[in-house]
Structure 1
Amino acid sequence: MREKITRKNPASVPAPVGNYTHITKIPRNAELFVTSGQVGVDQQGQFPSNMNDQVRNTFSNMKAVLESEGIDAENIIKVNIWATEQIDWDFLYAEWDRLFEKEYPAMTIGYLAELGLPEIKIEIEIWAAKV
């Protein structure tokens, strides 16, 4: 039997307050992938001034990085999101649900004063595993 990545929300813990899973288990001998933070730069190297446009570009860049290694959203085990301004959660979760459907990874979110460049409004780091 092939082992697989499993996700769960233990009954002994309050339900998640967003679209994520409390715990993700990676089988022994899985291959681990860790990305640098993906940002909202477009294919021409430009950063849109609008946060939602940066969110859209960030998700596009995340997908491209995953595809470069032959993995996809089901392989993602942990996501760290860093933002410099308030996230439009309806917009982000629409992108999130297109990527993950309903198999959510573990997630951490933090608001910071600034990221690596002044024009960066959001950065998303991915941890993934291939079984």
Structure 2
Amino acid sequence: MSLVALQPKDWPTPKGYANGLVGEGRLAIIGGQVGWDTAGRFPEGFVPQVRQALLNVLAVLAEAGGKPEHIARLTWFVTDIGEYRANLAELGPAYRAVMGRHFPAMTLVQVGALVEEEAKVELEATAILPKG
């Protein structure tokens, strides 16, 4: 089983995300993961929190036998869109270090606050795993 990108003809090619993906298999729904470690500590800075939040998504996904390439949708909730934009050069390498070159359908929105006061980002994912 693999996910196939949905790319309407004549649309510009997305950079770092997909417009959509299609696949068949078991669904894994991963609730919002913030960038804290197993002891509940947040690293300093936006990019380290994103990296840890991605690792946390993958840890939950691994419980279902999933891997990064099974993630079909990734929703980002950030507390400061300016901080996200200011860190784009560092975000790409940090993302690829955890996720490889797999770019699911993504949405990113700025929110007023997250439940955890120190959190700068929260990630939610939907994965499609092979049947069986």
Same fold (TM over 0.5): yes
TM-score, structure 1 as length reference: 0.85
2:17 matched to 1:20? yes
What is the deviation of 1:47?
2.0
Of 8, 11, 35, which aligns to 2:9? Answer: 11
The aligned amino acid for 2:110 is: Y
State whether residues 38 and 61 of structure 1, in contact with CA within 8 Å, keep that contact through their aligned partners in structure 2. yes
Matched ranges for 1:1-131 at <5 A: 3-16=1-14, 18-27=15-24, 30-85=25-80, 86-87=83-84, 88-131=87-130
Where do 5+ consecutive residues of structure 1 fail to align?
none
> What do the CA deviations read for 1:71-120 (whole angstroms, capped 9, x no partner)?
10110000000111221122222122233333311000011121112211
The aligned amino acid for 1:4 is: S
Equivalent residues, number: 126
Structure 1 residues 84 and 24: CA distance shift in structure 2, 3 A: same
Structure 1 runs, 4 residues or longer, greater than 3 Å off: none
State whether residues 19 and 104 of structure 1, in contact with CA within 8 Å, keep that contact through their aligned partners in structure 2. yes
What is the deviation of 1:128?
0.0
State whether residues 49 and 119 of structure 1, in contact with CA within 8 Å, keep that contact through their aligned partners in structure 2. no
> What do the CA deviations read for 1:33-92 (whole angstroms, capped 9, x no partner)?
111111011122112342222122212212211222211011000000011122112222
Structure 1 residues 5 and 116: CA distance shift in structure 2, 3 A: same
Where do 5+ consecutive residues of structure 2 fail to align?
none
CA RMSD, 1 decimal: 1.7
